[in-house]
């Protein structure tokens, strides 16, 4: 199932970025959904687009 990771690494400062975007009411995500993250250290915001290429063969995102 396509699902963004709850945390990524900030490209600017190396801090932890946490997912801001909530899934749809039914709990699903779709390709081309835009997800936002906020860094706890530098407060930068990152907006990423979910893509089929982000999914590994085991069905998990490849971020």
How high is the pLDDT of residue 1? 60
Mean local confidence (pLDDT), 41-54: 89
All structural domains of the chain with their residue ranges: 7-54
pTM over 0.75: yes
Instruction: For the chain, give the mean pLDDT.
Output: 85
Per-residue model confidence as pLDDT tens digits over 8-34: 999 999 999 999 999 989 888 888 999
At residue 58, does pLDDT exceed 90?
A: no
3 state SS of 50: coil
Q: Which two tokens stand for residue 19?
A: 């997912």
- CB neighbours of 9 closer than 8 A, spacing ≥ 6? 15, 16, 17
Burial of 31-47, coded b for 16+ CB within 10 Å and e otherwise, reads: eebebebebeeeeeeee
């Amino acid at each position: 199932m396509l699902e963004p990771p709850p945390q990524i690494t900030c490209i600017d400062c190396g801090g932890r970025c946490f997912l801001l975007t909530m899934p749809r009411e039914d709990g699903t995500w779709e390709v081309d959904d835009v997800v936002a993250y906020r860094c706890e250290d530098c407060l930068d915001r990152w907006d990423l687009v979910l893509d089929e290429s982000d999914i590994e063969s085991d069905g998990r995102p490849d971020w």
